[in-house]
Structure 1
Amino acid sequence: MKLICILPSLTFRMANKSVRFYPGLDVILLREVLAISSEGLSKTAWEGINKIINEAMKTKNTYVTLRACKDRLRHLQNAHRRNEMSSLRASGTDEEYDERSQLLTELADLDEERKHEDAKKKSEEEEKEKQGLAIRAAAMESLVPAKKAPDGDKKGYFLT
């Protein structure tokens, strides 16, 4: 934000104007997301991405909000999944379109790989849980109730 001082006692705030994304910003956004995606996209990661994009926009006196970055990424991913990149191609040069498409493909591959790894981890955890239940069941089968002692008290379970 810029501060404009008309009189020493009056200070007004003038907000920078928000901007629409264009292919060059899409490329910057996708590059940063790919660079950070291995660590996961936490709030601090998104704030870093937003800061980098706003640094690129500094000369135009515009800004991009954090929410706009997230929404734009989601929009690009959905369009890429639906193969609707031709409508996005209308704006921008071929090089920007090709790089944007390539980055979206890499991001989609990483997401698919991450989903596959998560599913594999989940199935491994389920298998370990099943094995643990089987071991506990086998251990319980090997135990038999104690025979009554001469005084009529049960002393517990014994291994067979």
Structure 2
Amino acid sequence: MSEHDEATRRKKTAFRFSVSADIDLLKEVVMVVPFDAAYGQTSARWDEVCEHMRQLHGNAMTSVCCRKRFDDLLPAFKKSSLKALRASGTEEEYLERDQLMQDISDMMDIALLRKKAAKLVQERRESDSHLIREAALTGMKRKQAEPDDNASQDEQPFCKSLDSKKGTRNGALRSDQVRGSGREEGGSCAGTTWARVRTSKICIGQSRARSTVCT
């Protein structure tokens, strides 16, 4: 089979959406929310939508045609031109499709706002983390730049304590010396007094002896 015949066969078997099929597609979109998928998961969400649509409308349904149909419906709804899309259906089906499109549009707006808010929170966290790192680095640099000043400040009280201890020891030594000299002086004075007493007793004895001889 030539490429032209293959393309013709695919074109003939392409699924033609009706308003009823649009409603089924939009209901699956509401349930699976492929527009709110995480990064890299959008295609998997559309594959899930396609699987549910195949159960309802046959194997001619593909994830590509489901996504393309939704991409056609969304701008048409925003331009209020859904009826311009070629699809057969009743007035009630048109109203239901419009309501589903309105619900999906609101859901997409909310999802977009949520993503923007999450992005802002992430940016603030990154900014705060950057400021914290800068503050920490600045503090480390200051500590590294001031070791000599801190050491000199630590040495000053130590030197003062050594000087005070030396002064206390010198004062104690001087007090001991003064006390020792006082004891020595007191001892010499006491010895001198005792010698004088003994001399006085000797003189008295000699005087008594002389008076006895004279009588």
Q: TM-score w.r.t. structure 1 length? A: 0.69
Confirm whether residue 18 of structure 1 aligns to residue 51 of structure 2. no
Partner of 1:65: 62
Confirm whether residue 92 of structure 1 aligns to residue 84 of structure 2. no
1: distance between equivalents of 2:31 and 2:130?
42
For the Cα contact (< 8 Å) 1:89–1:97, is it kept in 2?
A: no
Partner of 1:79: 76
Q: 5 Å matches for 1:96-115?
A: 96-115=93-112
Partner of 2:125: 128
Q: TM-score w.r.t. structure 2 length? A: 0.53
Distance 1:48 1:147, change over 3 A: closer
1: distance between equivalents of 2:146 and 2:53?
77
1:63 aligned counterpart, secondary structure: coil
Partner of 1:48: 48
2:69 aligned counterpart, secondary structure: helix
> Which whole-Å deviations, capped at 9, do the CAs of 1:103-159 have from their partners, x for residues lacking one?
11111111111110110011011111111122122222223234688xxxxxxxxxx
Greater C-alpha radius of gyration: 2
For the Cα contact (< 8 Å) 2:25–2:53, is it kept in 1?
A: yes
For the Cα contact (< 8 Å) 2:17–2:87, is it kept in 1?
A: no
Unaligned runs of 5+ in 1: 1-13, 150-160
Distance 1:77 1:132, change over 3 A: same
1: distance between equivalents of 2:71 and 2:87?
19
Distance 1:35 1:120, change over 3 A: same
Distance 1:123 1:90, change over 3 A: same
Count of aligned positions: 133
Which letter maps to 2:49? I
Bigger proportion of residues as strand: 1
Name the Cα RMSD after superposition: 2.8
Match of 1:138 among 124, 135, 138: 135
2: distance between equivalents of 1:135 and 1:82?
49
Moved over 6 A (4+): none
> Which whole-Å deviations, capped at 9, do the CAs of 1:18-40 have from their partners, x for residues lacking one?
33111000000000110111773
For the Cα contact (< 8 Å) 1:18–1:63, is it kept in 2?
A: yes
Distance 1:54 1:140, change over 3 A: closer
Distance 1:128 1:51, change over 3 A: closer
Which letter maps to 1:26? D
Match of 2:27 among 24, 27, 31: 31
1:92 aligned counterpart, secondary structure: coil
